[in-house]
Amino acid sequence: MTMPAIRNDGVTIMPAAAANAPVVAITPRRRPWRDSYGRIARDTAARVIPPLIVITLLMLFWELVCRRTGSTLPPPSKVYNDTKELIFDPFFDHGGIDKGLFWHLSASLQRVALGYSLAAVAGIGLGVLVGQSVWAMRGLDPLFQVLRTIPPLAWLPLALAAFRDGQPSAIFVIFITSIWPIIINTAVGIRNIPQDYRNVAAVVQLNPLEFFWKIMLPSAAPYIFTGLRIGVGLSWLAIIAAEMLIGGVGIGFFIWDAWNSSHISEIILALFYVGIIGFVLDRAIAGLGRLVTHGTSAS
Amino acid sequence: MSAYLKLDHIDKVFSRGAASTEVLKDITLTIDRGEFVSIIGHSGCGKSTLLNIVAGLTTATMGGVLLEDHEVNSPGPDRAVVFQNHSLLPWLTVYQNVRLGVDKVFAKTKSRAERDAWTLHNLSLVQMVHAKDKRPSEISGGMKQRVGIARALAMEPKVLLLDEPFGALDALTRAHLQDSVMALHHKLGNTILMITHDVDEAVLLSDRIVMMTNGPSATIGEVLEVPLPHPRKRLELATNAAYLKCRQRVLEFLYERHRFIEAA
Ligand SMILES: Nc1ncnc2c1ncn2[C@@H]1O[C@H](COP(=O)(O)OP(=O)(O)OP(=O)(O)O)[C@@H](O)[C@H]1O
Ligand SMILES: [Mg+2]
- Give the number of the ligand closest to the Cα of residue B13: 1
Q: How far apart are CA B201 and CA B193, in angstroms?
A: 13
| B215 inside domain | no
B56: left (phi over 0), alpha (psi -120 to 50) or beta: left
Among the listed residues A251, A282, A250, A283, the one whose alpha carbon sits nearest the alpha carbon of residue A269 = A251
- What is the ipTM metric for this complex? 0.88
- DSSP conformational letter for A171: H
Q: Whose CA is nearest to atom 29 of ligand 1?
A: B44
pLDDT at A233: 94
Nearest CB to A203; choose among B76, B91, B135: B76
- In eight-state DSSP terms, residue A153 is G
Q: Does A222 contact B at CB distance below 8 Å?
A: no
The contacts of residue A214 (CB under 8 Å, 6+ apart) are A201, A206, B89, B100
Segment A169-189 shows an average pLDDT of 95
A219 and B87 within 8 Å at the Cβ level: the answer is no
- Closest CA–CA distance from residue B243 to any residue of chain A (Å): 35
Confirm whether B93 is domain-assigned. yes
Average pLDDT over residues B10-36: 90
pLDDT at A5 over 70: no
Residue range of the domain that includes B100: 79-156
Question: Is residue B216 over pLDDT 60?
Answer: yes
Q: Are A175 and A232 in contact (CB under 8 A)?
A: no
Whether residue B149 lies inside any domain: the answer is: yes
Band the pLDDT of B75: cuts 50, 70, 90: very high
The pTM of this model reads: 0.80
Are B91 and A199 within 8 A, CB to CB? no
Rounded to an integer, what distance in angstroms lies between the CA atom of residue A145 and that of residue B100?
38
Whether B33 is in a domain gets the answer no
Calpha distance A119→A117 (Å, rounded): 5
Is a pLDDT exceeding 80 seen at residue A4? no
Mean predicted lDDT score pLDDT of chain A = 85
A273: pLDDT confidence band, cut at 50, 70 and 90?
A: very high
Q: Residue A226, CB half-sphere, CA atoms under 13 Å: how many?
A: 11
Give the gap in angstroms from C-alpha A178 to the nearest C-alpha of chain B. Answer: 27
Ion ligand 2, residue ranges at CB < 5 A? B 48
Contact call for residues A199 and A137 (beta carbons, < 8 A): no
In angstroms, the Cα distances linking A281 to A270, A277, B33, B79 are: 16, 6, 60, 48
Is B51 domain-assigned? no
* Mean pLDDT of the region A3-10: 42
d(CA B18, CA B223): 35
Partners of residue B76 in chain A, C-beta under 8 Å: 203, 205
The pLDDT value given to residue A9: 43
Closest CA to A198 of B39, B58, B135, B98: B58
**Closest by Cβ to B77, choosing from A197, A204, A294:** A204
If one counts the domains in chain B, the total is: 1
> What does the pLDDT average to over B21-34?
91
Has residue B64 been placed in a domain? no
**pLDDT tops 50 at residue A227:** yes
pLDDT of A106 above 60: yes
Under DSSP, is residue A40 helix (H, G, I), strand (E, B) or coil? Answer: helix
CB contact under 8 A, A203 and B81: yes
Answer whether residue B19 is part of any domain: no
The torsion angles phi and psi of A204, rounded to 5 degrees, stand at: -75, -15
**In the predicted structure, residue A24 carries a pLDDT above the cut 70:** no
Does B135 reside within a domain? Answer: yes
If you ran DSSP here, which 8-state letter would residue A215 be given?
I
Contact at CB, A295 and B56, closer than 8 angstroms: no
Query: Residues of chain B with pLDDT > 90: what percent?
Result: 51
The verdict on whether omega for the bond into residue A142 sits within 30 degrees of 0, i.e. cis, is no
pLDDT digits (tens, 9 = 90+) for B184-209: 888 888 899 999 988 999 999 999 99
Strand-pair partners of B38: B194, B209
Ligand 1 binding pocket (C-beta < 6 A) is: B 14, 23, 41, 43-49, 197, 215
Nearest CB partner across the interface for A200, out of B76, B89, B135: B89
In whole angstroms, how large is the CA radius of gyration of chain B? 19
**For residue A21, is pLDDT > 70?**
no
Cross-chain residue pair A205–B100, CB shorter than 8 Å: no
- The minimum CA-CA distance between A284 and chain B, rounded to whole Å, is 21
pLDDT (mean) for B115-141: 92
A32 has a pLDDT exceeding 70: no
Query: With 80 as the cut, is the pLDDT of residue A34 above it?
Result: no
